[in-house]
Amino acid sequence: MEISITSLDKVPSESTVILRFLEALNDHELRYYAQDWMKSIGYDNLDELNNAISPLIDAMNSVHMSTSENIKPVYRCSNGNIYRDWKLSRLGLTYLALNSPHKTKKISQLQLRIFQ
């Protein structure tokens, strides 16, 4: 069976294989774990990082951009502990870096490199 791109919004909900495929395509762009980048983009702790997620989602919603294509909550395991993290697209990671609460020289240089 072949489905054209223009008719994907009409895929029946019973087509779980197709829906999983579409989700995998979407997740392909979500390459960065927020906690892995937290310190290098200027967030000192998880509270600061998690507080920055809501404005990111609000900004995307305000311009009618799909949040699911740029940010997704995930659960990771490390040393037997499960914790919540965020998978981000390049755009999501860039937004967090540009809105970093700590403007150090290193962060300012990173922000300038993003604009180049």
Residue 34: CA atoms inside 13 Å, Cβ hemisphere, count?
A: 30
CA 39/CA 35 separation, integer angstroms: 8
Sites in the chain below the pLDDT cut of 70: 1-14, 22, 24-28
Question: What does the pLDDT look like over 17-49, one tens digit per residue?
Answer: 777 776 766 666 788 999 999 988 889 899 999
Which backbone phi and psi does 30 adopt, to 5 degrees?
A: -90, 90
Considering only CA atoms, give the Rg of the chain: 17
Q: What is the pLDDT of residue 2?
A: 40
Q: pTM for this structure?
A: 0.70
Percent of the chain topping pLDDT 90: 30
Q: What is the pLDDT of residue 35?
A: 93
